[in-house]
Amino acid sequence: MAEACSLGVAAEMPQAVQTVDRFHVVQLLNRAIDHVRCAERRESAEKRRQLAGTKYVWLQGKESLTERQLAKREELDPAKTHLRTARACQMGEALQDVYSCAGRESAARALDRLCSWMMHSNVREMKTVARTLRKEREGILNWWKRGSTNSFLEGLNSVVQSVRSAARGFRSIAYFRTMIFLRLGRLDFTAQKKLTCATH
């Protein structure tokens, strides 16, 4: 969803259909939920007590929670406590419902309903998320067309970043490019080692 990435793709590959990765949409919402929790904790001693140690209660799906965490989630249900964090968590669960839709049309309707709910809530962070989701709507819905993900590119990028940090910088882009090819190329240097041993 980074603007630089979108502009770069549009400039270099104008016929490409851009898809917003599901992982990044969920990550965007989880970060917002955690910001809501942190902000709400600072509002009063009562809320600090209620929300103490609950970070992963809100960030994980119900199927991943322990019995104790589930009990805490039930105790802090928005109908009982009126916590903004609990409402934000419900919106996160609604996003999971969007991704469980079978097709693009039903997902579009569910996504629009979710964005409308977020915009009409009194949770400021969720309104920001809704604006981003509306801006990236077509890219998000393209996921149902192909189900594509950029996890392979994310993996390559992590290797490239490890090359850069290990070198503490390069004198030129050419050296950096060479090191990337050496690391990612899976080249076999066994013949070179044998040759070196034979000459010494």
Residue pLDDT, tens place only, 13-44: 888 888 888 888 999 999 999 999 999 999 99
Look up the pTM and report it.
Answer: 0.73
Look-up of token digits 């490890």? 162
Residues in the chain: 200
Token readout for 109 is: 């309707």
24: which residues sit within 8 A by CB, 6+ positions away? 1
- Judged against a pLDDT cut of 80, whether residue 2 lies above it is answered with no
Using alpha carbons, list the distances in angstroms from residue 81 to 51, 76, 84, 87, 140.
11, 6, 9, 10, 33
Q: How do residues 70-79 score in pLDDT, each as one tens digit?
A: 899 889 988 8
CA gap 33, 55 in Å, rounded:
9
Q: Residue 175's pLDDT band (boundaries 50, 70, 90)?
A: confident
Q: For residue range 117-164, list pLDDT tens digits in order.
A: 999 998 999 999 999 999 999 989 988 887 767 677 777 778 878 877
Inter-residue contact 149 to 21 (CB < 8 Å): yes
d(CA 5, CA 131): 19
The H-or-E segment that residue 71 falls in is helix 67-75
> Which residue shows structure tokens 């039930």?
74
Number of H helices, E strands in the chain: 14, 0
